[in-house]
């Protein structure tokens, strides 16, 4: 009888099924497996895929050993930086590191680009993406790896979208390349929507570049650049649905983290140029427009196939349901995917009463109350998992896909350490709340964070409550009393 090892099953489950596996894993480097406490706790949540990363044991080595011992290994990654056929050589990684160091030391970008083009002209963009992930895993700073995006764009200057896509096909299994193209062509599919938006972004960027090349004063581009700022909607679709899914569910953080960082830089640069529309910022605008073009390339030729190789049908459907939350980017509307069904309200047991110390109410009343409060509410449980968002329009978008995922996955790498520190302070009792006055979409916003505790003081989770205070601020400044318009 065939002995099957599921890489997505927990270590505890596998060892219970095949007791001889414990010694095999111990010899591979899973030393904690002989510790009963660790085995009965962490073993129940740790899979071999996750364990591979935590223990820094190459997944292909684990798979090879298990197959040599007579096991059939299922759920092997279709696209992984660890497979033999696609492993980036140490020499290439060393070269990439040298380029990062040269840029960090202030060397001219064009000189580094030319060297890169000479040494990497026969390397697919997919391999470069894998090298980026390897550099991050070795401790190279994200902001330094992001600089490679501007360097490896030299390989693709002067080629069309179709030509560039053909160039990168070699980095993936042909089946994945074909499926990617099919998804892009399927009306309403998330990749179809992102691709349509990319064409609109390309058109807008090319138009602005044409105006700049004609010598037109940059001050005349205010309207065009404000329209281009809709690119934020496009980026948020990826940042809040695709990137966390890759990182949390598929242990593939590299390209996502690099792209997220570059996209944030593009948004910041675009806003800065808009607030300083003078000739001094012409070069900065030209660079930003070039970076937008290159991110489109990387998105469609690297990110899309990675997603197709990993994402399940239900994940694509969940993504399609969340996309309308962000609105279309430079398009009148987004086409609807005919596979997406309109769901009925999930609230059940409307007549059931909730009895608490302050009184009682029905579940229907509780839902209405939470949705009526003039706040955007997020509840994170004691295990740092998003468990609830109230409904309604939001300044800070909250995709339903984020429910059930760690709260940290919803933030870019530069913000994640601050979120971790705040929740750590809540858990240890060092802090019970934090309040941040901010600005979002022209509105004054108060972001409140509270530690939730029971009567004993035990930590139950974190509550985030976002409130627009523009009207309140104006009323206070005017010294107004009585009814006010918030």
Mean pLDDT of 437-464: 94
pLDDT band at 87 (very low <50, low <70, confident <90, very high): very low
pLDDT of 95 strictly over 50? yes
DSSP of 22-49, one letter per residue? HHHHHHHT-GGGG-HHHHHHGGGT-BHH
- With H, G, I as helix, E, B as strand and everything else as coil, classify residue 395: coil
Under a CB-based contact definition with an 8 Å cutoff, are residues 66 and 59 in contact? no
Pick the more confident residue, 326 or 162: 326
- With H, G, I as helix, E, B as strand and everything else as coil, classify residue 434: strand
Mean pLDDT of 141-162: 63
| Cα–Cα distance for residue pair 409/393, rounded to 1 Å | 22
- With H, G, I as helix, E, B as strand and everything else as coil, classify residue 345: coil
Q: Return the structure tokens found at 291.
A: 């970076």
pLDDT at residue 370, as a whole number? 93
User: For 458-478, how does the pLDDT look when each residue is reduced to its tens digit (9 = 90+)?
Assistant: 999 999 999 999 988 888 888
> Hey, what domains does the chain have and what are their CATH numbers?
3-74 (1.10.3910.10), 87-158 (no CATH), 165-326 (1.20.120.520), 374-477 (3.30.450.20)
CA-to-CA separations, 174 to 88, 178, 206, 485, in angstroms, rounded: 19, 6, 31, 59
Mean pLDDT of the chain, nearest integer: 84
In sequence order, the 6+-apart residues with CB closer than 8 A to the CB of 401 are: 240, 241, 244, 245, 315, 318, 319, 322
DSSP assigned state of 373: S
Question: With pLDDT > 90 as the criterion, what percentage of the chain qualifies?
Answer: 44
pLDDT at residue 90, as a whole number? 63
Q: How many CA atoms lie within 13 A of 483 on its CB side?
A: 0
pLDDT band at 104 (very low <50, low <70, confident <90, very high): confident
pLDDT of 368 strictly over 50? yes
Pick the more confident residue, 329 or 160: 329
pLDDT of 176 strictly over 90? no
Pick the more confident residue, 427 or 162: 427
| Cα–Cα distance for residue pair 148/128, rounded to 1 Å | 9
Pick the more confident residue, 166 or 414: 414
pLDDT of 449 strictly over 80? yes
Question: With pLDDT > 70 as the criterion, what percentage of the chain qualifies?
Answer: 86
User: For 179-196, how does the pLDDT look when each residue is reduced to its tens digit (9 = 90+)?
Assistant: 999 999 999 999 999 999
Pick the more confident residue, 474 or 154: 474
pLDDT band at 170 (very low <50, low <70, confident <90, very high): very low
Mean pLDDT of 26-37: 84
Mean pLDDT of 266-294: 91
CA-to-CA separations, 329 to 200, 244, 245, 324, in angstroms, rounded: 8, 21, 22, 11
Report the 3 state secondary structure along 275-293: HCCCHHHHHHHHHHHHHHH
A 10 A CB-CB count for 33 gives 23
């Amino acid at each position: 009888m065939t002995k099957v090892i599921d890489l997505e099953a927990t270590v505890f489950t596998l060892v219970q099924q095949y007791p001889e596996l414990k010694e095999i894993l111990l010899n591979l480097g899973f030393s904690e497996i002989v510790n009963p406490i660790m085995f009965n706790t962490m073993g129940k949540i740790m899979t071999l895929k996750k364990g591979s990363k935590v223990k820094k044991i190459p997944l292909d080595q684990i798979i090879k050993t298990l197959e040599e011992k007579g096991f059939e290994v299922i759920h092997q990654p279709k696209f992984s930086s660890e497979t033999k056929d696609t492993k980036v050589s140490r020499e290439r990684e060393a070269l990439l590191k040298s380029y990062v160091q040269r840029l960090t030391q202030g060397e001219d970008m064009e000189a580094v680009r030319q060297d890169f083009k000479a040494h990497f002209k026969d390397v697919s963009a997919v391999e470069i993406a894998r090298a980026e992930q390897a550099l991050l895993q070795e401790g190279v700073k994200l902001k330094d790896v992001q600089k490679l995006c501007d360097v490896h764009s030299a390989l693709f200057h002067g080629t069309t979208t179709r030509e560039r896509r053909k160039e990168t096909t070699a980095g993936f299994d042909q089946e994945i390349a074909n499926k990617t193209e099919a998804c892009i062509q399927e009306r309403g599919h998330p990749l179809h929507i992102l691709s349509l938006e990319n064409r609109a972004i390309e058109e807008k960027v090319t138009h602005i570049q044409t105006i700049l090349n004609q010598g037109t004063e940059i001050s005349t581009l205010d309207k065009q650049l404000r329209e281009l700022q809709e690119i934020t909607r496009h980026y948020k679709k990826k940042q809040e649905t695709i990137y966390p899914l890759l990182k949390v569910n598929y242990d593939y953080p590299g390209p996502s983290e690099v792209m997220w960082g570059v996209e944030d830089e593009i948004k910041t640069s675009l806003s800065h140029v808009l607030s300083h529309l003078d000739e001094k910022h012409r070069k900065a605008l030209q660079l930003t427009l070039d970076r937008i073009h290159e991110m489109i390339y990387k998105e469609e030729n690297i990110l899309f196939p990675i997603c197709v190789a990993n994402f399940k049908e239900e994940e694509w459907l969940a993504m399609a349901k969340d996309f309308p939350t962000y609105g279309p980017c430079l398009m009148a509307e987004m086409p609807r995917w005919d596979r997406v069904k309109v769901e009925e309200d999930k609230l059940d047991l409307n007549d059931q009463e909730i009895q608490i110390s302050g009184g009682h109410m029905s579940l229907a009343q509780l839902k209405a109350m939470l949705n009526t409060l003039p706040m955007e509410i997020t509840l994170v449980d004691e295990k740092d998992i998003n468990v609830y968002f109230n409904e309604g329009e939001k300044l800070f978008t909250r995709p339903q896909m984020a429910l059930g995922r760690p709260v940290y996955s919803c933030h870019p790498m530069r913000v994640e350490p601050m979120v971790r520190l705040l929740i750590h302070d809540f858990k240890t009792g060092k802090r019970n709340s934090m309040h941040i006055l901010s600005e979002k979409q022209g509105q004054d916003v108060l972001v409140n964070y509270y530690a939730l505790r029971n009567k004993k003081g035990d930590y139950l989770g974190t509550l985030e409550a976002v409130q627009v205070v523009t009207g309140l601020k104006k009323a206070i400044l005017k010294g107004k009393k009585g009814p006010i318009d918030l």
